[in-house]
Amino acid sequence: MLKKFSNDSLLTLAIPVGLEEDVLDFLLLHPAWATGFSVLAAQGMGQGAVLQSPMELVQGRSGRKLVLVAGVGADLLLLLEALACEIPSPEVTYWLSPLSACGRLA
């Protein structure tokens, strides 16, 4: 039996590796907005990528983490506003996408 959730949106945060612990701690402190989330390793490229380490300068891409949070769109917007106040970093990029289904297999 599939268990469905009322989540209608997926928030993706692309964050520098150096902010990972701060962002994850923030999310853990706000379970009403982020009941759970996933963290993936990623690399950022392009004009907005801030290259800091010698390896990043050579490769032309920066180490990033993607944090995926499924939730209700209005709650995720509140989460974004609070996160922007707590960690006002131009290096944090986000996008909010519609979520057509969300649940667990059992």
Q: What are the tens digits of pLDDT across the range 62-81?
A: 788 999 999 999 999 999 99
Alpha-carbon 85 to chain mean position: 16
The conformation of residue 89, written as its DSSP 8-state character, comes to -
- Spell out the domains of the chain, with CATH numbers in brackets: 10-95 (3.30.70.120)
pLDDT at site 51: 58
Backbone angles phi, psi at 19, to 5 degrees: -100, 0
Q: Measure the CA angle with vertex 68, ends 70 and 59; round to 5°.
A: 165
Spell out, as residue ranges, where the chain has pLDDT lower than 50.
none
